[in-house]
């Protein structure tokens, strides 16, 4: 038990340190307000965690830092201009609804940080999806009256012209959430966490690999160099940040490397669906919430399949064999039919060119 506890604390410490490194970089751009946003988010999450445990008559585990990690992730996904009152509300939703209503510590179904972000984006889209200009020093007041702009991700999704790749882009000199634009720092954090096995490398590679392969085979933008396009796909819409700190979180993954790879790949495909068909900004958060319930499904069927392959007898295995045959036959036939009939439609859908910002404004003026 003590060995497991020490291992969990080591994972938590690694993740907290890397998140603080990203936060420090953000403070260089927006001043102390970035620190205050994350501090309020952390304290709110920890407070609501204590309240939830008290109401359930459960022992308060002071060595459990999951609430602090959730608070840091929520804060780093928000714009620096977010109101503090909104932070408190979404922290309540994350810990009470996302964590303790749908499970508890160690038995969560949904990632609380993803629940909080989706709730905030649906309830306060203007607050959550509007950002101050990079390097703008902000007041620490609850409401900040500054010019807000759309994110770098929104411009990329709309097909607007983007600057060429340079060192400033890697260092995060573009508009977006507090902690999701510092690409160089996130790359370094990814290497550290993967080498220390503090996050699941299988889920990380399953997500990033699947996403990049599909984007390479069926690019959504054909007007820019493929290398630049793949880089923008990886660094916009909070993709790399979410891949590292949300998709690869051991707490929300099945057991076994293959199962974790499958969940990562499933999350990537769902992200692509929301991103390309729905044109949703930061679509990975919606994809995470849909993929989370499949964790137990993947674990369950993998266990039964292994038992069948090893020759264990039983009705369950016979049922599983029948199920697998029906699934492979039915899915294979359906996929072949659909692919032959509508492959041109989907390829055209994924490759279609969207109107530029100028064209959109001209259309609005004509109306």
Over residues 56-90, the pLDDT tens digits come to 888 877 778 889 999 999 999 999 899 999 999 99
49 with 6: CB under 8 angstroms? no
Longest dimension (CA), the chain: 71
Tokens 């500054």 belong to 146
Domains and CATH numbers, the chain: 2-308 (1.10.3430), 313-366 (no CATH)
Over the stretch 200-235, which tens digit does the pLDDT of each residue have?
A: 999 999 999 999 999 888 887 767 788 888 888 888
pLDDT at residue 289 above 80? yes
Do residues 270 and 290 touch, judged by C-beta distance below 8 A? yes
Are the CB atoms for 221 and 236 separated by under 8 Å?
no
**Mean confidence (pLDDT) of the chain:** 79
Radius of gyration from C-alpha coordinates of the chain: 22
Q: What is the mean pLDDT of residues 170-181?
A: 80
Q: Is the dihedral of CA 303, 102, 7, 248 positive or negative?
A: positive
- Indicate if the pLDDT at residue 2 is higher than 70: no
Top-ranked range on mean pLDDT: pick from 27-31, 129-133, 260-264, 336-340:
260-264
pLDDT at position 351: 47
DSSP one-letter code for 149: E
The secondary structure element, H or E, covering residue 49 is helix 32-55
The answer to whether the beta carbons of residues 138 and 144 sit under 8 Å apart is yes
Task: Give pLDDT, residue 302.
Answer: 65
Enter the tokens of residue 28. Answer: 């260089």
Closest to 77 in 3D by CA, of 24, 146, 128: 128
Q: Give dist(CA 337, CA 259) in Å, integer.
A: 28
pLDDT tens across 292-313, in order?
988 888 877 766 666 656 655 4
pLDDT at 346: 46
Q: Residue 165 has what pLDDT? A: 65
Query: What is the structure's pLDDT at 135?
Result: 72
pLDDT of residue 92: 96
């Amino acid at each position: 038990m003590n060995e497991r506890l020490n291992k969990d604390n080591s994972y938590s410490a690694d993740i907290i340190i890397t998140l603080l490194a990203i936060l420090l970089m953000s403070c260089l751009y927006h001043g102390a307000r970035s620190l205050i946003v994350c501090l309020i988010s952390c304290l709110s999450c920890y407070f609501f965690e204590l309240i939830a445990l008290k109401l359930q008559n459960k022992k308060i585990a002071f060595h459990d830092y999951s609430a602090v990690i959730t608070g840091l992730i929520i804060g780093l996904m928000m714009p620096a201009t977010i109101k503090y009152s909104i932070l408190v509300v979404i922290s309540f939703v994350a810990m009470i609804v996302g964590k303790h209503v749908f499970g508890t510590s160690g038995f969560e179904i949904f990632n609380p940080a993803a629940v909080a972000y989706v709730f905030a984006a649906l309830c306060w889209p203007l607050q959550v999806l509007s950002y101050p200009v990079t390097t703008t020093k902000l007041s620490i007041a609850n409401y900040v009256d500054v010019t807000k702009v759309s994110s770098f991700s929104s411009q990329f999704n709309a097909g607007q012209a983007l600057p060429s790749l340079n060192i400033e882009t890697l260092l995060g000199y573009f508009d977006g959430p507090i902690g999701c634009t510092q690409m160089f720092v996130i790359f370094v954090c990814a290497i550290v966490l993967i080498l220390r096995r503090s996050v699941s490398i299988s889920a990380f590679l399953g997500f990033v690999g699947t996403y990049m392969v599909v984007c390479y085979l069926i690019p959504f933008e054909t007007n820019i160099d493929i290398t630049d396009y793949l880089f923008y796909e990886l660094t916009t819409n909070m993709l790399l940040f979410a891949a590292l700190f949300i998709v690869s979180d051991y707490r929300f993954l099945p057991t076994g490397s293959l199962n974790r790879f499958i969940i990562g790949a499933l999350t990537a495909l769902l992200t692509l669906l929301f991103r390309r068909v729905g044109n949703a900004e930061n679509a990975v958060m919606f994809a995470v919430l849909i993929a989370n319930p499949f964790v137990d499904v993947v674990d369950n069927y993998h266990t039964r399949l292994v038992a069948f392959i090893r020759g264990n007898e039983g009705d369950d295995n016979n049922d599983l064999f029948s199920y697998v045959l029906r699934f492979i036959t039915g899915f294979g036939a359906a996929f072949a039919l659909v692919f032959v009939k509508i492959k041109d439609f989907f390829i055209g859908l994924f490759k279609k060119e969207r109107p530029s910002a100028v064209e959109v404004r001209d259309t609005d003026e004509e109306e």
